Structure 1
Amino acid sequence: MAPTLLLLPGDGIGPEVMAEMRKVARWFDRHGLSFEIEEDLVGGCAFDAHGQAISDATMERALRADAVLLGAVGGPKWDGVPYEVRPEAGLLRLRKDLGLFANLRPAKCFDALADFSSLKRELVEGLDILIVRELTGGVYFGEPKEIRDLPNGEKRAIDTQVYDTHEIERIAAVAFELARVRQGRVCSMEKRNVMKSGVLWHEVVTRTHRERFADVELSHMLADAGGMQLVRNPRQFDVIVTDNLFGDILSDVAAMLTGSLGMLPSASLGAPDPETGRRRALYEPVHGSAPDIAGQGRANPLAAILSFAMALRYSFDAGEAADRLERAVELVLADGLRTADLTGPGGGAAISTAEMGDAVVAALDRAG
């Protein structure tokens, strides 16, 4: 049976970029790599249809799928809906119910886009960083999480940073395993100078490295210093592993090194099944729903297409196909084709979302 891919286009530009990813999947289907593709709702569109950001039925389909590919969720249309059913709650439920604890955010600068980076070309040329972010723990999920009324009439907001040993061990192991097939270097980032969770993080990562991954080079850096170093000398890094909060911040910093959010894919992975070794997985472009350009054909579909390349690599054991797709994207960019986010001042005419998808499909024939 062909593996199942569940598409959740979502809101804003999500359906537009996912339509181009479908074109790429169809190309692979014609060339011997088939998928059973299903589609469903998540986010604001799911709230409109079901009164919730993701239905139980959709969640069941996600649990059965070999991989889930999501477009984007949210937009001002749903600003007034209750907090627990806001569009983003659908994404959070997917992460939680699928057990997706490892978020992989590559920051790779394609040579043709080096001049679009916020840094000088000589700092980002050849840049290839992978940020591994813990996704289901930390301050985003810790309890208590509340706003309290105080006797003096003021309010007190509380968010709790919590990590257990096993949560740190498993994310560190993912980072070390990925480093083994890259440049063999991991930098762990936390704030052990002011946070007890950082002290434990440092201890557990160090022990995990010593006991299981001594062949990989490990360094440590305070997260604020890490942010500075990302814009000072980003090529010093290979794999960065960090917690949920710092990973959220640092991966967005790294994103701007590459030239455009429209170029950045991501993968969120669960633990391997003890019997099959299969990991539940969700793939999504880093960009948001961009409601201001939705429906105009201006969105860059390359992040969604590159997210599919990550699915090929991590969920379907199709590394050669993933390499071919990434080469096709590189060829398109080298040909000078650009969507609106990549034109810049005096950069020439932009092509549409659909034209970029067509160009990648055509380049796949050349990328073998």
Structure 2
Amino acid sequence: MKLLVLPGDGVGPEVTAQALRVLHWFAEHRGLALEVTERGFGLVNWQRHGTLMPDETWDRIEAAEAILFGAIGSLDQQAVIPSEERRKGSLLRMRKALDLYANIRPIRLLDALLEASPLKPRVAKGADFVILRELTAGMYFGTPRGVETLPDGTRRGVNTHSYTEGEIARAIRFACRLARERRGHVTSVDKANVMEAGALWREVAGRVAREEFPDVTLEHMLADNCAIQIARDPRRFDVIVTDNLFGDLLSDAGGAILGSLGMLPSASVNDRGQALYEPVHGSAPDIAGKGVANPLGAILSAALLLRWTAKRPEDAAMLELAVDRALDGGTRTADIAAPGERVVSTSGMGDAVLHELSLLQREA
């Protein structure tokens, strides 16, 4: 497996290093065939090369089977970089060019983290669902877009929310296939009551599910109601599928169930076998370099890599179990620690997961 590692900015290099330790463990102890190449991405490229995306890095991106990504710098950090350069070196360009249209964001609350959740245990206990976010169309890519000056001198910002039938249909198909492997229930989320693109989304979703996946239960839900239900009754969901903008917002709302975005992994895949894996959290420049960031989002992204790209579901399950056992044993980074609990560093959490992997290997 040709793996390209892009640690990125802020805490990205710190958490990515722990995910790489785990993958190298699987290479050493479980026979994972791994060819790793690492390249700078983001502000580090700008500082070293005067560009966010050197051509050689882009060539590596296009050739990679899997990309392990850390984080991109904040808007404040990028303010000095010309807008054209920001577009050239953006995640949006990578997603669009590689057609990584299916963004998989699992949200699973362990009993060990019930105290970290802001929701009451009777509401949150057992929450386990996936948000499938369409990633290459919608508000973030629609045209026209930009800021224009009107005749009276005032400025207007324009973004266009647009979807084709084909873009909707393939997202729905992906969600239904995913649901078949879980509990067979899909919630399709839109704003069909006020948006024409939302009405089309609902129509296409209903047709695809009805004609191609009669064994999957599909329900429609408005996005604002979905936000309420995620907080009110997260256990009702199995697979949520929605557009780019709503998926961005709702997955962060789902992350709040766990008490920290540092726990959330993601996988963005296309139909050609390429995928990008990254924790959902950002670059967190305020804690970068302090060794306190939670690496579990990155480590669990490595578990998704084992499942989706390496086609090693047993190893993926083993890694997820190792994370569960580390948390069950009381290992906590600062973001998920209750008052009075002992806190470990970023590398300390990596140590705990590797320790559990070694125990599981001996127990097998």
TM more than 0.5? yes
CA deviation after TM superposition for structure 1 residue 344, in Å: 3.2
Match of 1:356 in 2: 349
Retained in 1: the 8 A contact 2:87–2:93?
Answer: no
Retained in 2: the 8 A contact 1:73–1:88?
Answer: no
Match of 1:33 in 2: 32
Higher mean Cα deviation, 143-152 or 183-192? 143-152
Please give the per-residue CA displacement for 1:54-78, whole angstroms capped at 9, x wherever unaligned: 2221121122111001001104433
Match of 1:74 in 2: 73
Mapped pair 1:259 → 2:252: no
CA deviation after TM superposition for structure 1 residue 162, in Å: 0.8
Residues 141 and 155 of structure 1, relative CA distance in 2, 3 Å threshold: same
Residues 200 and 87 of structure 1, relative CA distance in 2, 3 Å threshold: closer
SS in 2 for 1:77: coil
Q: Equivalences for 1:266-345 in 2 at 5 Å?
A: 266-271=266-271, 273=272, 279-345=273-339
Retained in 1: the 8 A contact 2:102–2:269?
Answer: yes
In the alignment, the residues of structure 2 paired with residue 97 and residue 88 of structure 1 have an alpha-carbon distance, to the nearest angstrom, of 11
Q: Could you list the runs of 4 or more consecutive aligned residues of structure 1 that deviate by over 4 angstroms after TM superposition?
A: none
> Which runs of no fewer than 5 residues in structure 2 stay unpaired?
none
In the alignment, the residues of structure 1 paired with residue 59 and residue 148 of structure 2 have an alpha-carbon distance, to the nearest angstrom, of 36
Retained in 2: the 8 A contact 1:47–1:85?
Answer: no
In the alignment, the residues of structure 2 paired with residue 292 and residue 321 of structure 1 have an alpha-carbon distance, to the nearest angstrom, of 34
Partner amino acid, structure 1, of 2:347: A
CA deviation after TM superposition for structure 1 residue 89, in Å: 4.0
In the alignment, the residues of structure 2 paired with residue 191 and residue 89 of structure 1 have an alpha-carbon distance, to the nearest angstrom, of 32
Please give the per-residue CA displacement for 1:241-291, whole angstroms capped at 9, x wherever unaligned: 0001111111110010112111100010112x3xxxxx2100000111111
Match of 1:196 in 2: 196
Q: Equivalences for 1:12-91 in 2 at 5 Å?
A: 12-31=10-29, 32-75=31-74, 76-86=76-86, 89-91=89-91
Mapped pair 1:209 → 2:209: yes
In the alignment, the residues of structure 2 paired with residue 229 and residue 270 of structure 1 have an alpha-carbon distance, to the nearest angstrom, of 29
SS in 1 for 2:270: strand
CA deviation after TM superposition for structure 1 residue 91, in Å: 1.4
In the alignment, the residues of structure 2 paired with residue 74 and residue 33 of structure 1 have an alpha-carbon distance, to the nearest angstrom, of 31
Q: Equivalences for 1:64-143 in 2 at 5 Å?
A: 64-75=63-74, 76-86=76-86, 89-143=89-143
* Alignment size in residue pairs: 359
In the alignment, the residues of structure 2 paired with residue 123 and residue 115 of structure 1 have an alpha-carbon distance, to the nearest angstrom, of 12
SS in 2 for 1:366: helix
